[in-house]
Structure 1
């Protein structure tokens, strides 16, 4: 892999992980919500990646293939006085698991940082090559 390709891999990884972090932030922000603007409870969103194909079937990075909504069941919360409660007093809440989202956030943050480190190391190597050529 050339140093330029390393930059491509790192850049695509940081963009993809940034989108993943945005989805996680949205999930955490809506963890306690009971209804969205459309009237239905918020469903957790998950980012799905796919490799960017390159020459010789070697991946040259990653991109977001799609963002999916979790199929996990919605939480049923007994709150008879709540404005969104049904006739039995239950409110449907989002299916976001805050603990799972925090774990995902740590993993995505570390992946983001590793991609930044890859680009920094590639930059340093490229600078050393340029310095060697100059002397």
Structure 2
């Protein structure tokens, strides 16, 4: 059963990362016209940097293993199935995590608006380097990835429940 928990942990890590990515994108859209931030300049587009996790945290799996050891249960696997930690061809990683939130280094565009309170002596205003159209495309991409992970999580959960039902009969 630990393999099922690992699948759910991987999917959950991706759900968390994609939700965070959507929050960063929503923040970019909300600040697409912010010409003065707390730091003094215009808002700079932010990007969530995702990376593969090296190890999957397994708090529930560890808890379950300890509980099984306390009641004397050692192994539910039929003979011939590799144990936890065994190398399996095509083995998946440990999920995904947010490494950092970086600022987009692209230059800030200038817009001529001499009446704007943040205009310089020549009448130009530095605008955020946020393209709302690009942000919407990124938001759709993150949303689709989130939906795919919800489907994977639900499917894995249903398969685990079916497996348990088969074990009862």
In structure 1, the partner of 2:152 is: 118
TM-score (norm 1): 0.94
Which structure has the greater CA radius of gyration? Answer: 2
Aligned pairs, how many? Answer: 135
Does residue 24 (structure 1) correspond to residue 58 (structure 2)? The answer is no
Unaligned 5+ segments in structure 2 are 56-84
Match of 2:54 in 1: 53
TM-superposed deviation, 1:58:
5.0
Partner-residue secondary structure (3-state), 1:2: helix
Partner of 1:15: 16
Deviation at 1:37, TM superposition (A): 2.2
Question: Higher strand share goes to which structure?
Answer: 1
Counterpart among 62, 65, 75 of residue 109 in structure 2: 75
Q: How high is the TM-score relative to the length of structure 2?
A: 0.76
Structure 2 match to 1:3:
4
- Say whether residues 1:105 and 2:106 are aligned partners: no
2: distance between equivalents of 1:69 and 1:102?
Answer: 18
Q: Residue 77 of structure 1 contacts residue 92 of structure 1 at CA under 8 Å; is this kept in 2?
A: yes
Higher relative contact order, structure no. (Cα contacts within 8 Å, ≥ 6 residues apart): 2
8 Å contact kept, 1:35–1:93: no
- Gaps in structure 1 of 5+ consecutive residues: none
Separation of aligned partners in 2, 1:38 and 1:5: 42
Q: Aligned to 2:156, what secondary structure does the other structure show? A: helix
